[in-house]
Amino acid sequence: MSRNPRYDILFEPVKIGPVTAPNRFYQTPHAIGTGQQMPHTRAAMREVRAEGGWGVVNTGYCSIHPTSDDAPLPYCRLWDDEDIKVHALMVDAVHKHGALAGVELWHGGSGAANRLSRATPVSVSGVSSDYSYPGWISLTKSRPMDARDIREFRRWHVDAAKRAKSAGFDVLYIYAGMGFGPYQFLLPWMNKRTDEYGGSLENRVRLMREIIEEMKEATHDSCGIALRFSADALLKIPGEHMESEAHEIVSMLADVPDLWDIKSSSWTVETASARFAEQGAQEPWNSFAKKLTSKPVVGVGRFTSPDEMVSQIKRGVLDLIGAARPSIADPFLPKKIDEGREDEIRECIGCNICVSGYHDSVPIRCTQNPTMGEEWRRGWHPERIPAGDPDTSVLIVGAGPAGLECARALGQRGFAVTVAEAREELGGRVTIEAQLPSLSTWARVRDYRTNLIKTMSNVDVYRGSQLSAQEVIDFGCDHAVIATGAYWMRELINADGFPVEKFDGNVFTPDEVLSGIDVTGPVVIYDFDHYYMGNCLAEVLRRRGNEVTIVTPANAVSAWTFMNNELNDIRNRMLDLDICIELEKRITGFNNGVVQLSSVYRSGKASEIDCESLVVVGHRTGNDSLFNELNEDPERIENAGIKSVIGIGDCRAPGTIAHAVYAGHECARTIDAGDEDPVILVERPSLSLNI
């Protein structure tokens, strides 16, 4: 197929100083959880984007000096020449496919806690940002930089730029955003200096100008210098001559950098999930810049629609379409547009499971793209998969995310696949959960797979087909894959967090609420699942007009969602909807229209709230009776010619949608491997340092 001419504009080259991006697809700097310790994993994760058509592929944040150390979070570094090699691996991998490689040089200023290096943090005036999450709170404050420190700060940038050039990078960043070092100089509430770096805006901008000019001087024959700049907070400060200080900064520095990368000052805002922000939500912060500079402007916006990308360019908002999440979910997004296959784009659903990988300091994983992070250690490619035997038949029972991904990947491998789904609708839990408030994008997990399966002549799908063990046996297949999902339990938990018996009366599970059962208020939601279901059901039931209270033993509503950056947005939504919140409490009894609560702390202080209906959002258990029955009698299976019965996804171990998709994909890749252990490479520290 050929490209739709409507999208030609996306494939125009763009000059970034002395280098040229081959097209407008730009993978902006973003962490991938590999840090400096996993160079092969990182190189492979970045390489697939270059192969998939992203014209520029950047690293995540890369520290320039030990005074900017973010341990234990996974950052990379260019502290000395020994660090160059690790980067060269990625650069070479990206260059192989004709893309430019960029590096996000980073100094955190007071935002770097220096837990590993133990260097005293330095910042513009010793004023620290207020972090209230335990993992981010630093017990060391920064010291104000003196004139010598500022000279050093500039030198660190230049030295790192030279090293980056040696590694082969084409685009070098200075990072003046998100509360980090150079950005702190711009902010009047952080910059209290009385020398030539403080006071007037021209003075506050001075350091940035100097660093860009010095980096250019050191590397400009071969590298473009990009300025990453957070505009949202500065847009709110009125300028002396222009609408805002953000306008004045861009106009003062207009053509000094070779590229402007405009972003928000808060990571949680920038990575707002689809539940809380639409595609293109950053436009209010980045659309002002293009009128003030002749240099290209890049910004993100979870863009997955080529029409929206074209619109951003034609309306003069952006020159380059920046992406982190869309490039994670589909590294081949540009190639698919180029080849007229935009129907095959695996669209990001905006769930932010990838973000949680960073917080966990592990290679990021993705709900939509099960190969993310597995490119090197398992050799999984996002588009290619080894061919299988077309005479081998596989019956998949259940068409949720696990069953559908397994069917899609087995179908791609060429096996003879049959899918039996009990319901008329495919998609399992995603079809149901996509109906929760603002979660409609989750249906993309189903749609991407069903769209491809439809085109595969070797995959048959039967809806409304609830299979028993005997029916599986009678069907006759080489392999039976059981992907029958899970259900929510009614059990509560005791003071130690272990399951205990259930209460009688109006006690409901999420499955029952989602099936439309009538729930009368006041409603209490007892949430010890700690993810989205508790707060989503609270929203559903509140919007139906009920009084709703969430009770949780945790110290925040949906406490896990700190990990995917949704915590603040969820809390705000609960506040907006007047949903009551009882933190750090367990439910100990429910009768006569009242629930009894007890504090989780030693006092165990008791209290009560009115409650007509109790919804328990706690544990899930696998719907594994079919799997167990089939495995009960190996002889019966063998006699039927079935070589293996494999349970995947929630039916064996309830988890996120990402876990289920991964399990489905893994099963499809390994179904014909027999008893061989899978090859999983491990990154190992090298002892060959030149010291």
**What residues line the site for ligand ADP (CB under 6 A)?**
397-403, 420-423, 428-429, 465-467, 483-486, 623, 626, 649-651, 660
Tell the smallest beta-carbon distance from residue 365 to ligand SF4 (Å). 7
Segment 143 to 172, residues that bind ligand SF4, using CB under 6 A = none
For residue 450, what is the enclosing H or E element?
helix 444-454
Q: Among ligand ADP, ligand SF4, none, what binds residue 421 when CB lies within 5 to 8 Å by partner kind?
A: ligand ADP
Does an H or E element contain 613, and which?
strand 613-617
Of the two residues 328 and 345, which places its CB atom closer to ligand SF4 in the complex? Answer: 328
Residue type, 6: R
The SS3 assignment for 579 reads: coil
CB nearer to ligand ADP: give 292 or 407: 407
434 binds, among ligand SF4, ligand ADP, none (CB under 5 to 8 A by kind): none
Q: Which of 402, 404, 451, 399 is nearest to 420 (CA)?
A: 399
> For residues 279 and 273, what is the distance between their CA atoms, to the nearest angstrom?
10
Please select the residue that binds ligand SF4; options are 208, 354, 525, 567, rule is CB under 6 A: 354
Interface with ligand SF4, residue 275, by CB under 6 A = no
d(CA 354, CA 658) in angstroms, rounded, equals 10
Rounded least distance, CB 372 to ligand SF4, Å: 7
Taken in order 115, 120, 123, 127, is the CA torsion positive or negative? positive
Q: Within 13 A of 192's CA, how many CA atoms are on the CB side?
A: 9
Residue of 201, 318, 321 lying closest to 249 (CA atoms):
201
Binding flag, residue 350, ligand SF4 (CB under 6 A): yes
Closest approach of Cβ 366 to ligand ADP, in Å?
16
Query: Residues near 395 by Cβ (< 8 Å), separated by ≥ 6?
Result: 418, 420, 472, 475, 477, 479, 480, 481
Type of residue at 429: R
Number of residues that bind ligand SF4 (CB under 6 A): 13
Structure tokens at 148: 């010598």
Taking the least distance from each CB to ligand SF4, the nearer of 333 and 349 is 349
Binding residue for ligand SF4, selected from 309, 329, 595, 642, defined by CB under 6 A: 329
Tell me how far apart the alpha carbons of residues 332 and 345 are, in angstroms, rounded to a whole number. Answer: 8
Among ligand ADP, ligand SF4, none, residue 625 binds (CB under 5-8 Å by kind): none
Starting at the edge strand found earlier in the chain, the sheet holding 393-397 runs 459-462, 416-420, 393-397, 479-482, 644-647
485 binds, among ligand ADP, ligand SF4, none (CB under 5 to 8 A by kind): ligand ADP
Contact set for ligand SF4, span 365-404 (CB under 6 A):
366-368
- Residue 487 corresponds to which amino acid? Y
**Which residue in 23, 59, 352, 552 binds ligand SF4 (CB under 6 A)?**
352
User: Could you tell me the smallest distance in angstroms from the CB atom of residue 528 to ligand ADP?
Assistant: 20
State CA 208 to chain mean position distance.
30
Of 221, 225, 190, which is closest to residue 204 (Cα–Cα)? 190
Smaller CB distance to ligand ADP: residue 317 or 651? 651
Q: What residue 56 binds from ligand SF4, ligand ADP, none (CB within 5 to 8 A, per partner kind)?
A: none
Span of 72-80, 282-290, 342-350, 609-617 interacting with ligand SF4 by CB under 6 A: 342-350
Kindly state the smallest distance separating residue 451's Cβ from ligand SF4, in Å. 16
Q: Counting contacts by CB under 6 A, is residue 549 touching ligand SF4?
A: no
With CB under 6 A as the contact rule, which of the stretches 64-72, 112-120, 360-368, 682-690 interacts with ligand SF4? 360-368
Query: Which residues does 523 contact at the CB level (< 8 Å), separation at least 6?
Result: 541, 546, 547, 548, 549, 611, 612, 613, 614, 615
Minimum Å gap between C-beta 409 and ligand SF4 is 17
Q: Does 353 bind ligand SF4 (CB under 6 A)?
A: yes
| 420 contact, one of ligand SF4, ligand ADP, none, CB 5-8 Å limit per kind | ligand ADP
Q: Which is nearer to ligand ADP, 109 or 427 (CB)?
A: 427
Those residues whose C-beta lies under 8 Å from the C-beta of residue 539, and which sit 6 or more positions away, are 436, 437, 573, 577, 579
**Which residues lie near ligand SF4 (CB under 6 A)?**
325, 328-329, 348-354, 366-368
